């Protein structure tokens, strides 16, 4: 499950076919008969974005707003809003990504398979990684045009968790143990996926997994107990530098606990917004909110 809580204006200009972003951009139905209904304010591109968002929010029911919190956002026919999927895996290309279509069969992608992340970082070549990211963005666009219900343009990559201990379970997904190299490669990959258009994103990279995360077994109940200095001078640095260089549109919270508190409800998810003047959005990892009342049994009414 991916829970989108915030989007920045640039992401809303992605021209996502069938997405909330597309709804805000489209000027309305094509001119037709004189009896055509008036253009709703949220579809009017001449209005300020904040005005259009406020208008749309005022038209949605509570159930519809809750529906938008899911990775698979349902269509709202009465407002002309098509369904939208957030979150397409793109760690080293979109070839791995697959989904279940409406007929119940598995849909897979034919796309370029690039080296694993640790292999990409071994090039020590940000310019090359930018080209890789650009190719991934191109292929994501092509797949999205074929089936937007399966392949969204919100790409869940790059992974910028640091590889501090070789015994950890997911080191093939990260770039290195060094924050500077990790951020340089992640920034190049993210900027490549975004493209260089000043207004429109080719794709929207989402950094993961925030924060101090790398294990696979019992990941939902494991607490990464990290001293403040290690947290701020090491674990956060790869994320911070990448965000500061405008190479990400959002961040995914990790499954694990950090110093005893689930990252799903960590205040750090809000604090990272001070690292940029852009608006970032947050998503959860798959089903992670259910862990709060399930495996984690977490309840802290004062801090929540």
- Cβ atoms of residues 197 and 13 within 8 Å: no
Please tell me the predicted confidence (pLDDT) of residue 1: 44
Confidence of residue 107 (pLDDT cuts 50, 70, 90): low
Q: Is the pLDDT at 114 greater than 80, yes or no?
A: yes
Sequence-distant (≥ 6) Cβ neighbours of residue 10 within 8 angstroms: 199, 201, 249, 278
d(CA 184, CA 173): 16
| b/e sequence 157-189, b meaning 16+ C-beta within 10 Å | bbbbbbbeeeebebbebbbbebbebbbbbbbbb
Residue in 197, 220, 246, 285 annotated catalytic: 285
Alpha-helical runs (H) found in 161-230: 179-194, 228-230
Sequence-distant (≥ 6) Cβ neighbours of residue 101 within 8 angstroms: 107, 147, 149, 150
Range with the lowest mean pLDDT among 76-80, 167-171, 192-196? Answer: 167-171
Please tell me the predicted confidence (pLDDT) of residue 212: 94
Q: Please give the domain boundaries of the chain with CATH numbers for all domains.
A: 87-293 (3.20.20.300)
- Calculate the alpha carbon distances from 145 to 12, 17, 18, 90, 141 in Å: 17, 8, 10, 17, 6
Q: Is the pLDDT at 270 greater than 70, yes or no?
A: yes
Q: Is the pLDDT at 231 greater than 50, yes or no?
A: yes
Q: Is the pLDDT at 186 greater than 80, yes or no?
A: yes
Tokens of 3: 């829970």
Q: Rounded mean pLDDT of 128-148?
A: 95
Please tell me the predicted confidence (pLDDT) of residue 19: 41
Residue written as tokens 């760690």?
Answer: 91
Q: Is the pLDDT at 256 greater than 70, yes or no?
A: yes
Please tell me the predicted confidence (pLDDT) of residue 230: 95
Q: Rounded mean pLDDT of 53-75?
A: 92
CA-closest candidate to residue 283, choices 99, 65, 86: 86
- DSSP, res 69: T
Rounded to 5 degrees, φ, ψ at 179 are -60, -35
Element (H, E) at 49: helix 49-59
Would you call 138 a catalytic residue per the annotation? no
Confidence of residue 148 (pLDDT cuts 50, 70, 90): confident
Range with the lowest mean pLDDT among 14-18, 87-91, 109-113, 132-136? Answer: 14-18
């Amino acid at each position: 499950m991916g829970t989108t809580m915030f989007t920045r204006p640039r992401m809303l200009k992605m021209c996502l076919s069938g997405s909330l972003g597309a709804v805000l951009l489209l000027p309305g139905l094509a001119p037709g008969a004189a009896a055509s209904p008036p253009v709703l304010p949220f579809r009017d591109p001449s209005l300020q974005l904040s005005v259009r968002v406020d208008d749309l929010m005022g038209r949605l029911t509570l159930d519809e707003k809750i529906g938008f919190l899911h990775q698979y956002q349902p269509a709202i026919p009465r407002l002309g809003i098509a369904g939208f999927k957030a979150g397409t895996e793109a760690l080293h290309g979109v070839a791995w990504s697959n989904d279940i279509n409406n007929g119940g069969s598995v849909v897979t992608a034919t796309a370029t398979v690039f080296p694993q992340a640790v292999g990409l970082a071994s090039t020590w070549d940000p310019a090359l990684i930018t080209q890789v990211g650009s190719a991934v963005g191109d292929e994501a666009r092509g797949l999205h045009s074929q089936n937007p219900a399966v392949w969204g343009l919100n790409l869940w990559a790059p992974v910028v968790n640091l590889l501090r201990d070789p015994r950890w379970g997911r080191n093939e997904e990260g770039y290195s143990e060094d924050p500077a190299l990790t951020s340089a490669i992640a920034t190049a990959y993210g900027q490549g996926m975004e493209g260089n258009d000043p207004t429109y994103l080719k794709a929207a990279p989402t950094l993961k997994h925030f924060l101090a995360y790398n294990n696979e077994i019992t990941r939902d109940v494991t607490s990464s107990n990290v001293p403040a200095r290690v947290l701020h001078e090491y674990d956060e640095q790869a994320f911070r530098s990448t965000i500061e260089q405008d190479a990400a549109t959002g961040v995914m919270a990790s499954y694990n606990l950090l110093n005893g508190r689930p990252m799903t409800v960590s205040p750090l998810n809000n604090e990272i917004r001070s690292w940029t003047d852009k608006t970032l959005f947050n998503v959860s990892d798959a089903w992670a909110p259910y862990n709060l009342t399930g495996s984690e049994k977490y309840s802290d009414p004062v801090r929540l």
